[in-house]
Every structure is written in C-alpha cells, then in structure tokens.
Structure 1
Amino acid sequence: MKSIHDIRRENLRTIIQKDFDGRQIRMAEALGFQANLISRWMASPDMASAKNIGGSSARKIEAAARRPAFWLDTDHGMAIAAEAEPLDANTEIGIIAAQNLTSWMQANKELKSQAAVAEKAEVGQSTVNRLLNREASISINNLAAIAAVFNRRAYELLIPPHDETVIQYDRSRYAALPAEEKAKIKSFIDFVMSENTK
C-alpha cells in the first residue's frame, strides 16, 4: 500500500507536468519556494536528499495548481493516467483552438513563431506546438498564458471562428472604455434585440 508521501510525490509529478509545463522552476516560482526544495520532494525516497511533502506545503501546492484541498493526498491512480493522455487530435475543441491560435499568430508580426509565443507566455515551446497540432492535453493555466500574450482570454481560443452567436469586437479596447460607455453599448444591443423579437 502506498504511503501518503508516495501519493503526494506522484501527484506532484502530475501537477508539474500538466500545470507547469514539466518545469520544476516554474512551480518553485509560483510557490515562492527554492527550486532545490521541489527537487528534494521529487527525489526517490531512498535518496539521502529526498524530503517528504508536509501537510501545509501540500495545501500550498494545491492552491498554486488550482486543485481542491486534499487533492494531493488522494491516490488518483488510473484517472491521472487517463487524464494525461491527449484527446483525439480531431476533436472539435482541439481543431477550434488550433485554428484560432494560428490566425492570431498570423495576424501578429511579433508573435508569428511558436518560439516567440512560448517565450512571451512563459511556457515551453512544446506546449504551443501541442496546441497547434490539436493535442488537447494542455492545462488551463497554459491556455490562459498563451491567450494573454494576444491580450485575450483563454475561452476565446475555444470559440469557433465566425460563430454567429458571438459579437466580434476588440475586447481590449472595450475593456478600456469607461463604465458609462460600456452601458451604452449594452443598452444599444438590448434595444436592437428587442426590436427584432416583436
């Protein structure tokens, strides 16, 4: 039977892989801990440098990775293995995200390459590559970081191009408007819609 320390160590590996692009240094920065502490947590228990993950550290890791409390203490077994598998590259959501990122890159001369997007988003180039190749095994944190490079939000990567249920507008310019101007836009939209439902 696995000990709590073995379970936490396995779950930490999953979190680093999925949420921190496999980079221990990124997790250390998110936690505000020394990078060598993460290495000691990851070390095999029979190594002299190995260190167990304590309860308070486990809760901090969960918070940094946006996991529920005590997630690190639960043996997720086969569920984690299944989660780690990329979804079928031809899933609709994977195709939409890849198309959107491709068009955003083509429209931005400073962010035309995977390397440029990865560097600015502070994710690995392999993460950008997986998204462009329609592999949906990307974390929400990484999706948000990539979208932010283009002054967008993660959900915008998942909206089909030319979706008739979505109004196309410059979201960053809208966000900069004063509240009363935003209210005018909302009021105008409500007016047009009410006129067309009669």
Structure 2
Amino acid sequence: MNNNKFKSIAEIRKNNLIYIIERYYSGKQKLLADALGVAPSMISRYLSLKNLKSHRELTAHMSRKIEYVTKISKYWMDIDHLKEGHAESEKEEYILTEIGQILSDNITTFMLNDGIKSRVKLSVDSGLAQSTVNRIINCEASATAESIDAIAKAMGRQAYELLIPKNDKGAIYYDRKAYSKLPLSEQISIQNFIEFIIYKNNPTTSE
C-alpha cells in the first residue's frame, strides 16, 4: 500500500516548502525569509524535525503568504504535487531491471560524493519532476534516455557514468572532471601509460 496517500497537510506543505526554496530561492532559506520579512530561523523551524521543540508547522496564513511572495497560484502549498506525479505511472507495474538498480545506486553515490543534499535540488537542476526523480532512485520506474541525460548534466557528469556497474572490472575510476581539464598532451600520456601497463601484463607476439 502506498503510504503517500495518507500524508498530512503539514507534511505536504513542508515538502512543497523544500521545493520552493530550491526552485525559486537558489536553495537559500535566507532569501525566502527576506521575501517574507521574517527571521531565517523561522524557515529553519518549519523544516526541522517534528519531534524538536523548536519545530513549527506551516499555517494556512503563512502558506498563502509564501505563495504570494513567490508569485505562484493560491493553495499551491496545500496540494500534494508528488502524489499527482505518481498517479499515471502507478497504472502500470514496474519490474526492476539490473540496469535500473545500477542507475539508482550510481545516482545515490554521486549525490553523496558531489554534495547534492536533496532529491529536490536534483529535480530542480535536472528539470525533471520530483516524482520522476524519486521513482528512478527508488527503482519504481524505468528511466528514459532523456531523463538519464538530464540527471547526469545536473550532476555535472556524463550519462554513461550513471550506467557503469560499481563492480565492473573493465571500468577505470578517476576524476573525469579533472581529466577533462588536462592539456591534450597529458591526456595522451595517461592513455599511453594505461596501454603500456595492459601490454606489459598481456604481451602479444606478431610471430
């Protein structure tokens, strides 16, 4: 059973607040706080864990104010946009594939390595719906070539990097960003060195 059906209005507003901060305020709580005319600590309270004493739930009044200063439609904060994104996809059952698991594992790993703190940010930077990003990472839906490319670009990577198994013995792991900035002569030197090591361990004869 999908527990998302039972989200409270507080959870929905909190999720939407996270999206708004990433999408409209460059991921900076202070920018939204300034627009609302409140202290940044107030935004932090809305986003804090529910069991903390400092936690505050978004009221209807504050939700309307956020919509107003952000110039989005009234009552947008009260709609579970993630649930709407799921609706059509849930009509068909998804069968997990090996490549889907590899993709999910790599996205999760790269998010950690690249300092991408939330799926919301990945959604905003890639231009994909948050529901699409969630379902790909959760192995609940297959990814199109376009969505893989969009996610890779949002991470500053190439699409094929997301599809290489971690235990692939034929893959060489290195900082591709740093490699791309090297002079061509240095790149050629690295390639020649790799070929030399391979040849040394697997000599061939022309006789």
Query: If the length of structure 2 is used for normalisation, what is the TM-score?
Result: 0.51
Provide the C-alpha distance between the structure 1 equivalents of 2:189 and 2:113, rounded to a whole number of angstroms: 30
Q: What letter is aligned with 1:95?
A: Q
State the SS of the aligned residue for 1:99: helix
- State the Cα distance separating 1:85 from its structure 2 match: 5.1
One-letter code of the match for 1:189? I
Q: Is the contact between residue 125 and residue 154 of structure 2 (CA under 8 Å) also seen in structure 1?
A: yes
Which residue number in structure 2 is paired with residue 138 of structure 1?
143
User: Matches of residues 73-92 of structure 1 in structure 2 within 5 Å?
Assistant: 87-89=94-96, 91-92=97-98
User: Which of 156, 162, 186 is equivalent to 2:167?
Assistant: 162
Do 1:86 and 1:137's aligned partners in 2 also have CA atoms closer than 8 Å?
no
1:192 match:
197
Aligned match of 1:112 in 98, 109, 117? 117
Measured in 1, the distance between the counterparts of 2:138 and 2:132 equals: 10
AA of the residue aligned to 1:179:
L
User: Alpha-carbon deviation of 1:138?
Assistant: 2.1
Q: Is the 8 A contact 1:144 1:154 kept in 2?
A: yes
**RMSD across aligned C-alpha pairs, in angstroms?**
1.8
In the alignment, the residues of structure 2 paired with residue 165 and residue 85 of structure 1 have an alpha-carbon distance, to the nearest angstrom, of 35
Cα deviation, 1:130-162, whole Å, max 9, x if unaligned, reads 111113432211111101122211111111113
Alignment match, 1:43: none
Check conservation: 1:101, 1:157, Cα contact below 8 A. Answer: yes
Unaligned 5+ runs, structure 1: 1-83
Name which one, 1 or 2, has greater alpha-carbon Rg.
Answer: 2
Q: Residues 175 and 136 (structure 1 numbering): CA distance in 2 closer, same or farther, change over 3 Å?
A: farther
Q: What is the TM-score with the length of structure 1 in the denominator? A: 0.53
User: What CA deviation, in whole Å up to 9, does each residue of 1:94-132 have, x standing for no partner?
Assistant: 1111111111112233x2211010101111111111111
Q: Does 1:94 align with 2:85?
A: no
Amino-acid identity (%): 41
Report if aligned partners of 2:126, 2:154 keep a CA contact under 8 Å in 1. yes
SS of residue paired to 1:100: helix
Cα deviation, 1:167-197, whole Å, max 9, x if unaligned, reads 0001111111111111101110111111001
Pairwise CA distance, 1:87 = 4.5
1:85–1:137 CA contact under 8 A, matched in 2: no
Distance 2:94 2:122 in 1: 23
Which amino acid in the other structure matches residue 162 of structure 2? Answer: L
Of residues 164, 181, 186 in structure 1, which corresponds to 2:186? 181
Alignment-derived partner of residue 171 in structure 1: 176
CA gap of 1:108–1:179, structure 2 versus 1, over 3 A, is: closer
